[in-house]
Structure 1
Amino acid sequence: MNFAEKAVNILIVEDELLIANNLSHKLESLGYKIVGIVSSGADAIQRAGEIKPDLILMDIVIKGDIDGIETAVIINQKFDIPIIYTTAYADEETLQRAENTGSYGYLLKPFKQRELHATIKIALSKHQEAVKMQKLIALAAAKIENRDRFFSMAYHDLNTPLTTIQLSAEMLENSELQRGSGNLNKNVVRIKKAVSNMSGLLEDILMLSKAEYGKVSLNLNQINATDFCTSILEELQPIVTDKHLVTFRTYTDPVYANLDAKLLHHLLTNLLSNAIKYSPNGGNVSLELSCENQQIILCVRDEGIGMTAEDQEKLFQQFERGANVGKIKGSGLGLCIVKHIVDLHGGTISVESAIGKGTTVIVTLPFLAINH
């Protein structure tokens, strides 16, 4: 079935009555329904809002303070109605103005019936496709919003019982200490560790979900990068074993940079904890800070198990882990989140590694301006 068989409603905007009537007759002979003829931009806008036609044939030169192109712009802003321009001449400047408004076609006077019919069919078809695309985009946006809401709810629903378990474990721990036995129940220690691991995984899933759909934004503040790195290493001391030597080296005077402290904390914590975790036999783990070309360079080195070139290619993908990790636990989400954080700052991240020879991760972050 073609568009003419669907009784398409058309509004004609034309200030020459003779031309408008002739156009109306041609359209009616093709099976279209003419729902109005107006001669000015103001009337066209009013009628478009009242009758919501399926298509508007818009003469560029019309009566009133605004021409057909300006009228089309206003109609496009208010209503989703396809517009075909009509004119007796076609200079380059006019064509360019018409194209910039996103028109659905262009017809030169005098109108040829076959050309008129074909242009209308193409315009209606293009508009239908545009409507479908808008619906798909809206559906995708709704799914993203629903997914984000789901993760937020899941995080809350799962984190609440985890908090309860954590508090219960701490009460048991205090109870053991008060008895003066001096020996903590191993089950209590396992519970606390499991809760900590699960809480960390929930945090990672929530952050990754937000990052993937553009829900994470930069909150820039000026920070002392040297002091910041020192504080991160102090926080990580509880997971450092006797077999590890964790050091911090800086190759620059204390430098101040505009960064997102919360995201940078997540980035460094992830990289350093990985360096410790994937060095099960111990060894040196270092964080190095330098500054070059208005960029902060953070380098995390370890002497751990390393990884193959194949694993490095998949390193920043979700749930991807090295083939040689063995029983070392991990979700495969951390480095994916790190990559998102680096990208948000407009920086770069690179990895150098080899099996049994450790891994070096280099993060470069530009000095960013704070927009007020």
Structure 2
Amino acid sequence: MAGPKILIVEDEMITACAISEQLKRLGYEVPGFVNSGAAAIASVAQNLPDLVLMDIVLKNRKFDGIEAAAQIRSQFKIPVIYLTAHSEEVILERAKVTEPFGYIVKPFNQRDLRIGIEIGLYKHKMERQLAEREEFLSTILHSTSDAVIATDETGCITYINPVAETMTGWQSVEALGKSITEVVQIFDEVTDTLVENPVMLLLEGETIDLLGNSRVLIARNGRRIPIADSVSPMRKESDTANGAVLVFWDISERRKSEVLELEKVRLSTEIIEREKAEAEVRKALIVEQQLSELKSRLIATISHEYRTPLAIILTSTELLKRYGPKLSEEKKETYLDRIQGGVRQMAQLVDEVLTFGKIESGEIELNLEPLNVEEFCRELINDRQNQVGDRCNINFTVRGFIDYVNLDKDLLQQIVINLLANAIKYSAKGTTIDCLLFGDKERIIFQVKDRGIGIPKIDQTRLFSPFFRASNVSTVGGTGMGLSIVKKCVDLYQGEIAIESEVDVGTTVTVSLPRLEAKG
């Protein structure tokens, strides 16, 4: 297999030949060499090399190596490394503008050449991956139905997505660099007074409360939009916030539904009052029927409008605040459980996304240490069994050659916990989940088998995609990140994962990890 393709642009043909021979000895492919800027651009267009070695000084002084490098970088996005015997400040300053991937100073040996090229190729690869990730995140932010605005540590806007542009009336080119307080103005509907921007409160270290139902966004054209929001800090290495992200959304439709429901309740009450004179049995039947209908409408509205954990938290806190003294202790406990559940779900999503992102970006490496695998897995399974109680029974079996194995404890925990969580989540109450730990001299196998809802064949090819959930999960909660994280952990081990599933029969997930030697 041929190595990376390197184009040589060198003023002296003898030197070019020598460099070409060195590159071929190092295993690189050399499509040829040229001695002018125009020829370099033509050759790049024809051969599409992986990297260009560019002599700064060429015969055509008006179109030298720096000018050629700038055009290659602009048109083809191909990395350029300069070959030069010059160190004049003027030349170096011109060269910097073209964002080269390195400098190799003449005279140089074969080792210098190889190191310079490998570093340049690696930097280009990292730059490409970073650009792809930025494009991926940008696509997500542009596609979301919520308004998203990011600021720096002073509250000046650094990003605004299309939904935020529409809601605020500020275009991106106008909003960037302006204070968040100028673009996002939030008023209290009751007092019609400006409230302090949640981003500024966060950056100043104040406690942040979610916006209640009486807060509105005043758009640039004066339009009043009822909103709910969430604000989060952005941090790098220290605990100090160096920016914030504000997410808000229009709750106009929810407001209309609430008003409609209140009107329905009022009308129902009037009907009941008018019919008080009727017989007690008939009155009881009418009241029961109306309450049943009202309950169905409320459930339908809540199911439609309060989909996210944030909405659950907002609703529960408002009910506790408004009706707390009148509620029974049982009701209060129910609302507090909902709040805790919402927080756990959001925290789980954040943890899963962060874990996935760290593995994806290469921040997490294998940290192998001798581990009693059987004891470790049994402890995790027992903890999970205690959490679910009689919701299901987890049967743990150990077979084969299991001893102390060099494994990464954190990654193994991610694999076991996520597989167990999926099996429990999609299994009916009272069912049994089988967990098998098997080992031989070459590998360790962990298998989880449930008798749950199964996975449709059409969905099985996308199971490891982040945020993907099968089409038959219905109302079962989840983030769609569990199997993605498991797959990334298994890939770090250079292991294998296999899934067998049939709808209404169950799912079996098998993870095979090689026995690895710990690095000294």
Say whether the fold is shared (TM-score over 0.5): yes
From 247, 254, 269, give the equivalent of 2:395. Answer: 247
SS in 2 for 1:263: helix
Task: Check if 1:85 corresponds to 2:34.
Answer: no
Could you tell me how far apart the structure 2 residues matched to 1:339 and 1:354 are?
A: 20
From 60, 72, 78, give the equivalent of 1:133. Answer: 78
- Flag the 1:96–1:251 CA change in 2: closer, same or farther, 3 A: closer
Could you tell me how far apart the structure 1 residues matched to 2:26 and 2:403 are?
A: 53
Could you tell me how far apart the structure 1 residues matched to 2:401 and 2:9 are?
A: 67
Q: How does 1:31-180 map to 2 (within 5 A)?
A: 56-60=10-14, 68=15, 84-85=16-17, 96-97=24-25, 100=28, 104-105=32-33, 122=42, 127=52, 128=69, 131=73, 132-134=77-79, 140=128, 143=131, 153=234
- Flag the 1:219–1:185 CA change in 2: closer, same or farther, 3 A: same
Task: Give the root-mean-square deviation of aligned CA atoms.
Answer: 4.0
- Flag the 1:239–1:323 CA change in 2: closer, same or farther, 3 A: farther
Once the two structures are superposed, what CA deviation does each residue of 1:263-288 show, in whole Å capped at 9, x if it has no partner? Answer: 11011000001111100333111211
- Flag the 1:328–1:122 CA change in 2: closer, same or farther, 3 A: same
1:231 corresponds in structure 2 to 379
Could you tell me how far apart the structure 1 residues matched to 2:416 and 2:26 are?
A: 53
User: Following TM superposition, by how much is the alpha carbon of 1:196 offset from its aligned partner in structure 2, in angstroms?
Assistant: 1.2
User: Following TM superposition, by how much is the alpha carbon of 1:235 offset from its aligned partner in structure 2, in angstroms?
Assistant: 2.1
Could you tell me how far apart the structure 2 residues matched to 1:340 and 1:261 are?
A: 15
Give, as a single letter, the amino acid of the residue that structure 2 aligns with 1:317: S
Give, as a single letter, the amino acid of the residue that structure 2 aligns with 1:56: E
Q: How does 1:248-327 map to 2 (within 5 A)?
A: 248-252=396-400, 254-327=402-475
User: Following TM superposition, by how much is the alpha carbon of 1:137 offset from its aligned partner in structure 2, in angstroms?
Assistant: 5.4
- Where structure 2 has 5 or more consecutive residues not aligned to the other structure, the ranges are 1-7, 53-68, 80-98, 100-123, 138-149, 151-231, 246-309, 321-328
Could you tell me how far apart the structure 2 residues matched to 1:200 and 1:190 are?
A: 15
- Flag the 1:122–1:362 CA change in 2: closer, same or farther, 3 A: same
Preserved CA contact (<8 Å) 1:318 1:332 = yes
Preserved CA contact (<8 Å) 1:282 1:304 = no
- Flag the 1:326–1:363 CA change in 2: closer, same or farther, 3 A: same
Preserved CA contact (<8 Å) 1:295 1:366 = yes
Could you tell me how far apart the structure 2 residues matched to 1:117 and 1:269 are?
A: 58
Give, as a single letter, the amino acid of the residue that structure 1 aligns with 2:426: Y
Once the two structures are superposed, what CA deviation does each residue of 1:313-335 show, in whole Å capped at 9, x if it has no partner? Answer: 21111222122111100111110
SS in 2 for 1:236: helix
User: Following TM superposition, by how much is the alpha carbon of 1:142 offset from its aligned partner in structure 2, in angstroms?
Assistant: 5.0
Q: Percent of aligned positions with the same letter in both sequences?
A: 31
Preserved CA contact (<8 Å) 1:288 1:299 = yes
Once the two structures are superposed, what CA deviation does each residue of 1:120-151 show, in whole Å capped at 9, x if it has no partner? Answer: 66457675476322377575455578799x99
Give, as a single letter, the amino acid of the residue that structure 2 aligns with 1:224: N
Could you tell me how far apart the structure 2 residues matched to 1:253 and 1:86 are?
A: 58
Task: Check if 1:364 corresponds to 2:512.
Answer: yes
- Where structure 1 has 5 or more consecutive residues not aligned to the other structure, the ranges are 1-53, 61-67, 69-83, 108-115, 173-180
User: Following TM superposition, by how much is the alpha carbon of 1:211 offset from its aligned partner in structure 2, in angstroms?
Assistant: 2.1
Task: Check if 1:207 corresponds to 2:139.
Answer: no
Once the two structures are superposed, what CA deviation does each residue of 1:74-131 show, in whole Å capped at 9, x if it has no partner? Answer: xxxxxxxxxx4389xx9xx789459849585179xxxxxxxx9985664576754763
SS in 2 for 1:362: strand
User: Following TM superposition, by how much is the alpha carbon of 1:295 offset from its aligned partner in structure 2, in angstroms?
Assistant: 0.3
- Flag the 1:368–1:97 CA change in 2: closer, same or farther, 3 A: closer
1:189 corresponds in structure 2 to 337
Give, as a single letter, the amino acid of the residue that structure 2 aligns with 1:340: K
TM-score (norm 2): 0.44
User: Following TM superposition, by how much is the alpha carbon of 1:300 offset from its aligned partner in structure 2, in angstroms?
Assistant: 0.3
User: Following TM superposition, by how much is the alpha carbon of 1:253 offset from its aligned partner in structure 2, in angstroms?
Assistant: 5.2
Could you tell me how far apart the structure 2 residues matched to 1:271 and 1:199 are?
A: 18
Could you tell me how far apart the structure 2 residues matched to 1:305 and 1:213 are?
A: 33
SS in 1 for 2:476: coil
SS in 1 for 2:406: strand
- Flag the 1:121–1:343 CA change in 2: closer, same or farther, 3 A: closer
TM-score (norm 1): 0.60
Could you tell me how far apart the structure 1 residues matched to 2:494 and 2:26 are?
A: 37
User: Following TM superposition, by how much is the alpha carbon of 1:369 offset from its aligned partner in structure 2, in angstroms?
Assistant: 1.1
- More relative contact order in 1 or in 2 (CA 8 Å, sep 6+)? 1
Could you tell me how far apart the structure 1 residues matched to 2:488 and 2:37 are?
A: 51
User: Following TM superposition, by how much is the alpha carbon of 1:56 offset from its aligned partner in structure 2, in angstroms?
Assistant: 3.0
Could you tell me how far apart the structure 2 residues matched to 1:209 and 1:369 are?
A: 26
Preserved CA contact (<8 Å) 1:296 1:367 = yes
